[in-house]
A and B are shown apart, each in its own frame.
Chain A
């Protein structure tokens, strides 16, 4: 898929929105106003944006505990997300899900997921629906290097392959499952695992939006054409801990600083498109300002929004009971 000006602006805007959303949550979480815990996606933006650029509302994604970026890239309302993370009635899930369960089924977003490896089987189901009902849709499972070791994931590779489902498994390998390094916990390689199930796979630099976008385009096109599932191994990193409050003592000295300075996906995108004269720096600056305002407004709104009412405790368990 060729990217035109509008696509490039949209891609940058999506990544900037995710970055600012997460950087702001990092600040706000420290104030103690946000209940529970949050897992930030900052640093990984190119993956969600690069994959979801190819998707529409009839396509489904399943996300992870680190799900804010996938939600934003799939078109979830940012203010609704912020409200949800603050536990507000007007949150996307009425304040009943929180950070780890944000979903918007109408946007094809089947939920962040508190269970590592919970998503891949669900995505086989969404892909099955697309196949049986001939919707032309595809289904994408985002999963981490940690989830790549779950039986659910490996079973899903097999099921998707034997049923030739229109599915793509995007392994976002940020190098750490909680505090345990992927180099310790993952035997073999992600692409060899795909090969074992007869799936094509690609290894992609996850700091490079264009690389992710191209790889995802090929995998999604293949899925839509009825040729079956693929795997994309996206190599990237996270700027924050497993969860907010994680002291990250397991990381190397200066590791995150170097990542921010050398390989940051937003910086690289900006350099590439401005040097190639595809976009003006001023256009990107304008997006930065608009996004900053949007995040500011969403936080202000969420802070003053009402919580669910007492009656909400008992609703939404069943359609009817």
Chain B
């Protein structure tokens, strides 16, 4: 056990799995960097240095720098997965899904069903997501709801370094196509992470805080925002459960429903655009399955329905923060029912 950053945790997961299984390969733009260039061989190790050092240990046959050609190499990763390798492809920013989405949702995701259960496609596609980097509209989106929508894909969104390592090892060992989403704001955050290899199963939520008044579900980095809000609210006498679903597909609906049955109040914090995101999905789930337990309307804390802005003051307004979560929790606590309808 030692302190490791989110970035180091991911690097260590990749290194340990590549040592364990020679079929695991990495591919993506600049995952090593410097291919064919006169300077350093491991020049970048990924655009933010996440895969640094891996080409030195595993060589360019297993750490493949690709051209800027996402359709070809994401598709190649799918084809390689269907024929015997276990590729980990890096898309860099989720925003680039637009130029290769067919290979993800029409090809890799559907092989198994279309081919009657005879295909196995152990593919991981890693990508960065999230605002807060002053990276503007085309490098800051969340977009995991789009992947979550597709049957055949699994979608993993780690909320911390410890979570990232265990979930990535699980993803690489998984036999289905997995979308692995890394919030770039988290890369330098450190926490205690075991040195040895470990897995965290998909579809099992983590309760990061346990309380009796309000259930807060957070997605990815928003788990940390939810924790901060819960800690502040605890000092004000409001006790919250915070749920990190870890994976949006599969989704641990049981843990969410059980918690809402206890608290009767639900706030969902989702950094994705507010229409058809995880917050609306979980709201629909709870409205349908736990309506009777609700003591207040569900509150969703999401960005506004606008692209991610560039100007720092606008971007800061855009991303949900702990203050907004606290306000939402106080609102559901203060809800007194329709006038006259409830005592």
The reply on B112 being an interface residue by CB < 8 A is yes
Is B78 in contact with A121, judged by CB distance below 8 angstroms?
A: yes
Q: Tell me, yes or no, whether A104 is within 8 Å of chain B by CB.
A: yes
Closest to B73 in A: A159
Which of A40-48, A126-134, A214-222 forms contacts with chain B? Answer: A126-134
Q: How far is the CA of A129 from the CA of B76 in the complex (A)?
A: 9
Q: Are B75 and A129 in contact (CB under 8 A)?
A: no
Residues of B within 8 A of A106 (CB): 118
Residues of A154-211 contacting chain B, CB below 8 A:
155-156, 158-159, 162-163
From residue 47 to 88 of chain B, which have CB atoms closer than 8 A to chain A?
A: 61-62, 64, 66-67, 69, 71-85, 87
Are B83 and A132 interface neighbours, CB within 8 A?
no
Given contacts A104-B118, A125-B85, 19 further A-B contacts (CB under 8 A): A94-B116, A101-B114, A103-B118, A110-B82, A120-B72, A120-B75, A121-B72, A121-B107, A122-B79, A122-B107, A124-B76, A125-B83, A128-B85, A130-B83, A155-B67, A156-B76, A158-B69, A317-B113, A319-B176
Contacting residues of chain A (100-129) with chain B, CB-CB under 8 angstroms: 101, 103-106, 110-111, 113-115, 118, 120-126, 128-129
- B23 interface hit (Cβ, 8 Å): yes
CB contacts (< 8 Å) of B151 on chain A: these are: 317
B203: which A residues are within 8 A, CB to CB?
321
B83–A129 touching, CB < 8 Å: yes
Judge whether B79 and A103 touch: CB under 8 Å: no
Task: Report the 6 A-B pairs with minimum CB-CB distance, sorted nearest first.
Answer: A121-B75, A125-B79, A94-B116, A122-B79, A316-B117, A93-B116
Cα-based distance from A163 to B117 in the complex (angstroms): 31
> Is B103 in the interface zone, CB < 8 Å from A?
yes
With both beta carbons as reference points, the residue of chain B lying nearest to A308 in the complex is identified as: B116
Given A105-B119, A317-B112, residue A162 in contact with residue B80 (CB < 8 A):
no
Contacts of B61 in A (CB 8 A): 132
B245 at the interface (CB under 8 A from A): no
Tell which of A105, A115, A126 touches B107, judged by Cβ atoms closer than 8 Å.
Answer: A115
Number of A-B residue pairs having CB atoms within 8 Å of each other in the complex: 158
**What residues of chain A lie closer than 8 Å to B116, measured between beta carbons?**
91-97, 316
Q: Are B117 and A115 in contact (CB under 8 A)?
A: no
In the docked arrangement, what's the CA distance between A126 and B79, Å? 5
Q: Out of A113, A159, A320, which one reaches B76, CB within 8 Å? A: A159
Residue ID in chain B nearest A100 by CB atoms = B114
Q: Does A223 contact B (CB under 8 A)?
A: no
Within 8 Å of chain A (Cβ to Cβ): is B128?
no
Docked Cα-Cα span, A266 to B118, in Å, equals 34
Pair B69/A317 contact, Cβ less than 8 Å: no
A39-86 contacts to B (CB < 8 Å) = 60, 62
B118 close to A123 (CB less than 8 A): no
CA separation between A114 and B74, bound complex, in Å?
Answer: 18
Inter-chain CA distance A132–B18, complex, in Å, is 14
A149 on the B face (CB < 8 A): no
Partner of A317, one of B75, B79, B106, B152: B152
Closest to A151 in B: B71
Q: Does B175 contact A (CB under 8 A)?
A: yes
Q: How large is the interface on B (under 10, 10 to 19, 20 to 34, 35 or more residues)?
A: 35 or more
Report whether B76 and A121 are in contact in the complex, using a CB–CB cutoff of 8 Å. Answer: yes
Name the one of B72, B75, B113 contacting A96, with C-beta atoms under 8 angstroms: B113
Q: Can you list, as one digit per residue, whether each of B160-192 has a CB less than 8 Å from chain A (1) or not (0)?
A: 000000000000001110000000000000000
Partner of B72, one of A124, A130, A139, A318: A124
Minimum CB–CB distance from A121 to chain B (whole Å) comes to 2
Given the complex, which residues of A lie within 8 Å of B318, measured CB to CB?
Answer: none
Complex Cα distance, B178 from A320, in Å, reads: 12
Bound-state Cα–Cα, A151 to B67, Å: 14
Closest Cβ of chain A to B251, distance in Å, is 11
Kindly state the separation between the CA atoms of A320 and B23 in the bound complex, as whole angstroms: 20
- Which chain B positions have C-beta within 8 A of A155? 67, 69, 71-72
Interface residues of B in 188-247 (CB under 8 A from A): 203
| Interface status of B132 (Cβ within 8 A of chain A) | no
**When A97-B115, A158-B72, A162-B67 are in contact, do A114 and B82 touch as well, CB less than 8 Å?**
no
In chain B, what residue has the closest Cβ to A89? B116
Closest residue of B by beta carbon distance from A156: B72
B114 CB contact (under 8 Å) in A97, A104, A121: A97
- How distant is B18 from chain A, measured CB to nearest CB, in Å? 12
- Provide 27 A-B residue pairs closer than 8 Å at the C-beta atoms, listed in order of the A residue: A60-B79, A93-B118, A104-B118, A105-B115, A111-B111, A111-B115, A115-B106, A118-B102, A121-B78, A122-B82, A124-B76, A124-B79, A125-B75, A125-B76, A125-B79, A125-B80, A139-B79, A152-B72, A155-B72, A158-B69, A316-B113, A316-B116, A316-B117, A317-B152, A318-B112, A319-B175, A321-B154
CA distance A28 to B80 in the complex (A): 37
Q: Is the CB of B77 within 8 A of A318?
A: no
Interface status of B278 (Cβ within 8 A of chain A): no
Residues of A within 8 A of B114 (CB): 93, 96-97, 101, 103, 111
How far is it, in angstroms, between the C-alpha of A159 and the C-alpha of B75 when the chains are bound?
11
